[in-house]
Amino acid sequence: MEQKFIIEGGRQLAGEIGIKGAKNAALKIFPVALMTEEPILVKNLPEIEDVARAQEMLAALGHNVKKLSGDACEIQYQSKRCVNLPAELVNKFRASIMFVGPLLATCGEAEFPHPGGCVIGAGTRPIDEFLDGFAKMGAEVAEKENHYRLTAKKLKGADIFFKKITVTGTECLMTTACLADGTTILKNCAMEPEVSALAEFLNSIGAKIDGAGTSTIRITGVKKLGGGEYNIIPDRIEAGTFAILAAAANNGEIVIQNCRPEHLEALWVNFDKIGIDYNLEKNSVVIKPSKKRLAYGIKTHEYPGFATDLQSAYTVLMTQAQGSCLIHETIYDRRLLFTDLLTQMGANIIMSDPHRVVINGPTKLYGRKLVSPDLRAGIALVIAALIAEGKTEIGNIYQIERGYENIVERLRGLGAEITKM
């Protein structure tokens, strides 16, 4: 039977919560392992469904992932290789596309269906930037009925300008270019901290990458990469989500430990505008109950702008703020559709178009029976349920557990009344 979260709202939330390793950094390390015959030790690995899928993918391609004690694992090369990405895994998470470049660079071919993941963009989320990039690096791209076959005797360095800023696209081409002949220059790159972290690791195992974290990245191809240790950075989206939860509950002091507050500047400047009382320390954030919470709008933007992955949680917070504001989601077409569920809970939200909603607050929220549409909308519903009056039931929790480790226990640690059934 499908499992659910049952949440009894309105409890006081206070105490400490620690941040796990970043999902969107963790997922990118497994494909890199295809490019070296030496072991990679991964530390601070979050135990979430998407990471399990990435490990299964690597195993299907012939590598061994050995779980070590705590939150570490070691990826070991084995001689077996396969160039087909299994459809059942590709369908489950979009970052599976990251495996394509390393396969192409090391085996000369790769075959895969169109990748899955959260249904948050129009139709299926496009992969044109990846395909165009591989083609520029000399690959033949054959496409038939949503299935792709890429071949390349030897990839070569290229000048590539991303028409759209893409995080995984930047990471994928940057990684692939490490084993191409010559120099690759990537322009209009994503500047997310996960991109810089990946580049830093690749450099530590022998790559030559300059400029990651800026909009232009220069990669000089090398003959081979070695082994090393990757310590996953704290998940900035988890940290931001819990900070927003604390601000939305507003009834106790919450300390968010093991995070990097400097990765969330766009959130803190909004907190200043709303009137949230918070303190930033080097590796932690303290959110205190605030006297007032004023409505203040956001427009999502690539890093360092306001992260689309925090929009849904922020939208819930705005249902508790005084006044009206506009939430403008610029990255994905379907990421505001979940606001209909907040309206069912009692929020006053008017959708102007798929990219814009106006929220009038504050409004009381009431427990309802809901189904999580995707990962970030799912955690927003959890926040809404925690501050609502009465009981909320949330179905399709796979879509929440994909990205938040052991969320029930961790929220209980703050005093939440949440159970998984």
Position 10 contacts ligand EPU (CB under 6 A): no
Cis-peptide into 234, omega within 30 deg: no
Position 313 contacts ligand EPU (CB under 6 A): no
Q: How far is the CB of 227 from ligand EPU (least distance, A)?
A: 24
Q: How far is the CB of 213 from ligand EPU (least distance, A)?
A: 15
The contacts of residue 189 (CB under 8 Å, 6+ apart) are 162, 165, 170, 174, 195, 212, 214, 215, 216, 217
Q: How far is the CB of 38 from ligand EPU (least distance, A)?
A: 25
Strand partners for 326: 358
Q: How far is the CB of 8 from ligand EPU (least distance, A)?
A: 27
The window from 104-112, 163-171, 210-218, 280-288 that contacts ligand EPU (CB under 6 A) reads 163-171
Position 309 contacts ligand EPU (CB under 6 A): yes
Q: Which of 51, 101, 129, 310 binds ligand EPU (CB under 6 A)?
A: 129
Q: Which of 62, 66, 81, 128 binds ligand EPU (CB under 6 A)?
A: 128
The window from 19-27, 53-61, 254-262, 365-373 that contacts ligand EPU (CB under 6 A) reads 19-27
Taking residues 321 to 360 in sequence order and writing x for each that binds ligand EPU by CB under 6 A, - otherwise, the string is ----------xx----------------------------
Our CB check for ligand EPU shows the closer of 361 and 403 to be 403
Position 53 contacts ligand EPU (CB under 6 A): no
Our CB check for ligand EPU shows the closer of 250 and 308 to be 308
**Separation CA 292–CA 114 (nearest Å):** 47
Q: How far is the CB of 123 from ligand EPU (least distance, A)?
A: 10
Q: Environment class of residue 229 by beta-carbon count within 10 Å: exposed (0-12), middle (13-18) or buried (19+)?
A: middle
Q: Which of 30, 77, 99, 130 binds ligand EPU (CB under 6 A)?
A: 130
Position 148 contacts ligand EPU (CB under 6 A): no
Q: Are 394 and 388 in contact (CB under 8 A)?
A: no
Q: Which of 18, 86, 108, 126 binds ligand EPU (CB under 6 A)?
A: 126
Position 143 contacts ligand EPU (CB under 6 A): no
Our CB check for ligand EPU shows the closer of 221 and 373 to be 373
Query: Is 118 known to be catalytic?
Result: yes
The window from 32-40, 100-108, 159-167, 391-399 that contacts ligand EPU (CB under 6 A) reads 159-167
> Which residues between 230 and 269 bind ligand EPU (CB under 6 A)?
none
Our CB check for ligand EPU shows the closer of 264 and 388 to be 264
Q: Are 405 and 53 in contact (CB under 8 A)?
A: no
The window from 118-126, 178-186, 196-204, 282-290 that contacts ligand EPU (CB under 6 A) reads 118-126
Q: Are 98 and 74 in contact (CB under 8 A)?
A: no
> Which residues between 164 and 203 bind ligand EPU (CB under 6 A)?
164, 166-169, 190
Q: How far is the CB of 347 from ligand EPU (least distance, A)?
A: 22
**Separation CA 84–CA 111 (nearest Å):** 5
The window from 37-45, 122-130, 203-211, 220-228 that contacts ligand EPU (CB under 6 A) reads 122-130
The window from 36-44, 65-73, 119-127, 408-416 that contacts ligand EPU (CB under 6 A) reads 119-127
Which of these is catalytic: 73, 107, 118, 325? 118
For ligand EPU, the binding residues (CB under 6 A) are: 23-24, 27, 94-95, 118, 121, 125-130, 164, 166-169, 190, 308-309, 331-332, 375-376, 403
- State the catalytic residues: 118
